[in-house]
Every structure is written in structure tokens, then in C-alpha cells.
Amino acid sequence: MLSADLGLPFLTLAAGGIALLAYALAALRSPRTVHALRWALAVGWVAHALALVLDTAGSGLHGARFGFAPALSATLWLVLAVYAIESRFVPLPGVQRWLAALGAAAVLLMLAFPGEVRAHADSPWMPLHWVLGIASYGLFGAAVLHAGLLSHAERQMRIRRGVLPPAPLGMPLLRVEKLTFRFVAAGFVVLSAALVLGWWFADPWRWDHKTVFSILAWAVFAGLLAGRRAFGWRGRMATRWLYTGAGLLLLAYVGSRFVMEVLLHRAVSVGAAS
């Protein structure tokens, strides 16, 4: 239930409502109305960003509000940002309605489960650790999006038993593959930095579910990049490793927080939530 009982201020609810409506319109619009669809996505993206900022910083001097739903919402927002930049150069008409639907679901989830207020971290470096963690979610989310496009195109190619034309992806398969691994490499660097900061500045360092799943995901992504470089992994082999790593990373923060906030209705300390 979306109400003041959740502690959401009116501006957050208003921005979230606008984002939800704009995303819903973009998801339901006909693909032929490309211009209107892009405008709806743009309005939804801006309102989504405003809702995230207002919700996260809404508690003012007492700390920041965050949880599994805002983390998922921020991840989708970053993936949409990647799409917005990429679509300026290469059309991706088959993706935007799906992304709009996912964006609407993410905003609705964030409004329903806005998270909990966390006290300010002891170390001034810990917010950077959190930002890098969410950024890695977004980069790997973009990699998963491109891997999904690649898998879809390859399935079409096998069905047609011919050479796949640029449509519906709007770009050659090799370019999609390169972009996928560029996002994986960028996400791996950002995730590594987040883990190092978390280990260095967390007091004390906790071997909890979030830490274990994050390190397992890091190891899977490291194996994927090493296999790509040493053995030229591609196709199903590469996408399986990517999906496995992304699933582990999703379980690391979003999964553990979902269990705490929704299933167990428990709060965790700042150190454990970082």
C-alpha cells in the first residue's frame, strides 16, 4: 500500500507516480509511434531519477534511506541511461518497450518497499563504496541486456538458417558482442573497487551473505574475462557465465536485503548493509 505510513514524502510519491505513468505509456504505445515513445521514456527516466534522489536523501541529516527495491530501481535507471545514450547512435526498437515495462515495475517496487533509514557511515569513504556497488549493478545489467539481445539474434539466425540482417538489433552481432564484454569489463573494474573499499574501510569486516555472494560473483566475472581472453569464449558459454555472475551479484545485496526487509522484517546495521 502506497501511503504516508511508508514514510514517503509527497514529492517522492509524485515523482514516482509520474515515472510510473510515463513508463506505462511507453510500454503500451505502438512501436510505430517512435517519437512519442521516446518522449514518454525520457519523462519517465527524469521523474525516476528525481524519485530515487528524493527517496534516498529524504531522511535528511539523520541518514539515507535505502534497501533492496531502491537498489533494483537504481539499477534499472542506469540500464535505461545506457540505452538512452546508445539509442542516439544505433536504433534498438525492439528493446524500449521491454525496458519501459521493467522501469515501471522497478518504480512500483521502490514505492511499495522504500527501504529503511540508515545512519551515516563512520567512514567518509563508505558512501563511495555504496555508489560503486550500485554502478556495478548497472553496468552488469547493461551487459545482461546486450547478452539477451545477442542470444535472441542468434536464435533468429538459427531459425532462418541464413545471415542475420542488422534489424531487429540495428547493429551487427559482433558489435553487440564487443559491447557486452566492454560492459562486463567495466563492471568488473567498478565491482573490484567497491569490494576493495568495503574491505579497507569497513569496521569490522563481515563475512555475511552479501560479502560471500559478492566475492563469488567477482570470481565468476574474473573467470569469464579470463576465458574470453585465453580461449575466446563466446555464445552460450560466455552468456552462461555472465548470467551466473549477475545472479550471484543480485543475491549479494538485493537478495539478502529482500530476505531481511520482506521475509524476516528485520533491520540490519550499517556495516552489514554497506
* Helices assigned H by DSSP within 161-266: 173-201, 209-231, 235-250, 256-258
- Residue 122 has a CB neighbour count (10 Å cut-off) of 12
**What is the Cα 261 distance to its own chain's centre?**
19
Each residue's pLDDT, cut to its tens digit, for the chain (274 residues) gives 444 444 567 888 999 999 999 999 998 876 667 778 888 999 999 999 999 988 877 554 455 677 899 999 999 999 999 988 887 776 665 688 889 999 999 999 999 988 777 655 556 667 788 889 999 999 999 999 999 988 887 777 766 654 444 444 556 778 889 999 999 999 999 999 999 988 887 766 778 888 999 999 999 999 999 999 999 999 899 999 999 999 999 999 898 888 888 887 765 444 444 4
pTM as predicted: 0.83
- Residue among 5, 101, 99, 11 nearest 51 (CA): 11
By CB atoms closer than 10 A (0-12, 13-18, 19+), residue 4 is: exposed
Alpha-carbon gap, residue 251 to 37, rounded angstroms:
33
Contacts of 46 (CB under 8 A, 6+ apart): none
DSSP H stretches of helix in the chain: 10-28, 34-56, 68-87, 96-112, 126-160, 173-201, 209-231, 235-250, 256-258, 270-273
Nearest to 252 by CA among 203, 180, 198: 198
